[in-house]
Amino acid sequence: MNLYGVQAIYTFEMARWFRTIGQSLFSPVLSTSLYFIVFGAAIGSRMIDIGGVSYGAFIVPGLIMLTILMESVSNASFGIYMPRWAGTIYELLSAPVAPIEAVLGYVGAAATKSVVIGLVILATARLFVPFEIEHPILAVLFLILIAVTFCLFGFILGLLADGFERLQIVPMLILTPLTFLGGTFYSLDMLPPLWQKLTLFNPIVYLISGFRWAFYGDEAADVDIWISVAATSAFLLLCLSIIYWIFKTGYRLKN
């Protein structure tokens, strides 16, 4: 394992993030704070409790997931796409750095950024709504698992994209609608029976439900926690398989 190579990539990506800390950190935190003001403080006071949890507290895990998914995909895809766009990807491919080491560097840096943003948003949420975390350690572990998984997904998008505008298609047109329809602002029990069944085909449901379980337990979760963990792990393995195939064949890397 070439740890120096992993450290070099990781340090470079983190340094680039710190150079744009205003846009990279404060912008998503400010956007999420507006959600807390509107849905948590203003509308939440008029809503009934869900699963024994106030509405303002109920949407906290969903809003964190909304930001984490977007930031994970964006950070990872942009991080690997820039070397492809600038042509420096060939230096990486010719360097004594194995594919797994490159993935560790880029995905590790992107996941670190996402986890930091998630923790900052979690701290910010306490300024707007009171809540307690029932399983804090599991909440952090689940946050890391989801961040790593979607950073891998973003890494794949960055490898496959052939333009800057293509980097935004999947996050904006697919991931954002699925997140909003995945129980960010509501429980599946509030939907008609038919829509409850259809919503279970949305993979984001399992991520938000699992993360919400870590906060408030079984009463607030829509899906069993082990199903959520299994679904997230399966998507993680799928992303790893696709990345392995891309580096093995050189698809979108060598041509």
pLDDT at 144: 94
Per the domain annotation, does 54 fall within a domain? yes
pLDDT at 207: 92
d(CA 115, CA 140): 9
Cβ-Cβ contacts under 8 Å for 209 (sequence gap 6 or more): 183, 221, 222, 223, 228
Report, as an integer, the average pLDDT of 230-248: 91
Report, as an integer, the average pLDDT of 179-188: 87
Number of other CB atoms surrounding residue 8 within 10 Å? 15
Per the domain annotation, does 254 fall within a domain? no
Per the domain annotation, does 236 fall within a domain? yes
Per the domain annotation, does 59 fall within a domain? yes
Q: Could you write out the three-class secondary structure of the chain? A: CCHHHHHHHHHHHHHHHHHCHHHHHHHHHHHHHHHHHHHHHHHHHHCCCECCECHHHHHHHHHHHHHHHHHHHHHHHHHHHHHHHHCCHHHHHHCCCCHHHHHHHHHHHHHHHHHHHHHHHHHHHCCCCCCCCCCHHHHHHHHHHHHHHHHHHHHHHHHHCCCHHHHHHHHHHHHHHHHHCCCCCCCHHHCCHHHHHHHCCCCHHHHHHHHHHHHHCCCCCCCCHHHHHHHHHHHHHHHHHHHHHHHHHCCCCCC
Per the domain annotation, does 255 fall within a domain? no
pLDDT at 41: 64
Q: Where is average pLDDT lowest: 15-19, 119-123, 146-150? A: 15-19
| Structural domain span for residue 11 | 3-249
Per the domain annotation, does 80 fall within a domain? yes
Q: How many domains does the chain have?
A: 1
Per residue in 20-63, pLDDT tens? 777 777 888 888 888 877 776 667 667 777 878 888 888 889 98
Which one has a higher pLDDT value, 244 or 43?
244
Per the domain annotation, does 203 fall within a domain? yes
Tell me the pLDDT of the chain averaged across its residues: 86
Q: Which residue has the tokens 């869900």?
A: 50
Beta bridge partners of 53: 50
* Terminal-residue alpha carbon distance, the chain: 27
pLDDT at 255: 58
Report, as an integer, the average pLDDT of 154-170: 82
Per the domain annotation, does 207 fall within a domain? yes
Number of other CB atoms surrounding residue 56 within 10 Å? 21
Residue pair 185/219 in contact (Cβ under 8 Å)? The answer is no
pTM over 0.85: yes
Per residue in 89-102, pLDDT tens? 777 777 777 888 88
User: Measuring CA to CA, how many Å separate 242 from each of 12, 235, 239?
Assistant: 25, 11, 5
pLDDT at 40: 66
